[in-house]
């Protein structure tokens, strides 16, 4: 998930890049068009297919539909956890959710060109370990208030330390708000944005509001 060429020459190169996360549930007949509209309106570096289902057929159909939309726009697409599906359906990589535990194994399976990122909660130690053994990016979160998990949040201090000390890109995700985006813009490389926009009536406009907060 390296720097993605900006489609819009007005995009600030110092601004964090956008990393979209799909809804956990969506209609494969309608969501890809919605995704395409967002990608056409805003410069996005990567999309993560993050479906709750374990149905292999449903995941495969969603992967094919979203891959077609993303690759037509030169946007990378990864999938949560499912390494075999990523390879079978021509995705660009995988997003792991277990910190550093399986990075070596997945890298051996998928090769050097695959994007392999991992979610490390709010653990600096897990993040450092994952970075050292080859993760392409580290995601920390949630950064906002949520009833999910144990209430632990990844705070600004973690992102500021990481950005100053570690070269591997860092992603901020989870319960983002305009104020949190404003606070973290100077200390993160990417914002992972999902339900923050998909739960609204106008995802294109909702994403535009979050982008404006990065200025």
Distant-in-sequence, close-in-space partners of 166: CB < 8 Å, separation ≥ 6: 127, 128, 131, 138
Rounded to whole angstroms, how far apart are CA atoms 181 and 24?
Answer: 22
For the chain, the structural domain boundaries read 17-212
For domain 17-212, say whether CATH 3.20.20.70 is its number. Answer: yes
Q: State pTM to two decimals.
A: 0.94
pLDDT tens digit at each of 215 positions of the chain: 544 333 333 457 789 999 999 999 999 999 999 999 999 999 999 999 999 999 999 999 999 999 999 999 999 999 999 999 999 999 999 999 999 999 999 999 999 999 999 999 999 999 999 999 999 999 999 999 988 778 899 999 999 999 999 999 999 999 999 999 999 999 999 999 999 999 999 999 999 999 999 99
Name the residue among 208, 202, 197 with its Cα closest to residue 20. Answer: 197
| Residue pair 188/172 in contact by the 8 Å Cβ criterion | yes
**Separation between Cα atoms, residue 21 and residue 47, nearest integer Å:** 6
- Residue-level pLDDT at 147: 84
């Amino acid at each position: 998930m390296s720097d993605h060429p900006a489609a819009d020459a007005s995009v600030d190169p110092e601004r964090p890049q956008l990393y979209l996360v799909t809804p956990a549930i969506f209609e494969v007949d309608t969501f890809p068009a919605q995704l395409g509209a967002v990608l056409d309106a805003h410069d996005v570096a990567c999309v993560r297919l993050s479906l709750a289902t374990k149905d292999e057929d449903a995941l495969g159909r969603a992967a094919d539909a979203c891959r077609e939309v993303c690759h037509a726009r030169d946007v990378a697409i990864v999938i949560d956890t499912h390494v075999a599906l990523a390879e079978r359906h021509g995705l660009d990589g995988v997003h792991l959710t277990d910190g550093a535990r399986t990075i070596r194994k997945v890298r051996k399976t998928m090769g050097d060109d695959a994007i392999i990122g991992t979610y490390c909660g709010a653990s600096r130690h897990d993040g450092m370990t994952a970075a050292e053994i080859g993760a392409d990016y580290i995601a920390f979160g949630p950064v906002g208030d949520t009833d999910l998990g144990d209430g632990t949040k990844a705070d600004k201090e973690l992102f500021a330390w990481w950005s100053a000390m570690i070269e591997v890109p860092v992603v901020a995700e989870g319960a983002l708000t305009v104020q949190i985006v404003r606070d973290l813009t100077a200390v993160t490389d990417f914002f992972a944005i999902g339900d923050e926009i998909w739960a609204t009536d106008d995802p294109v406009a909702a994403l535009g509001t979050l982008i404006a907060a990065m200025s």
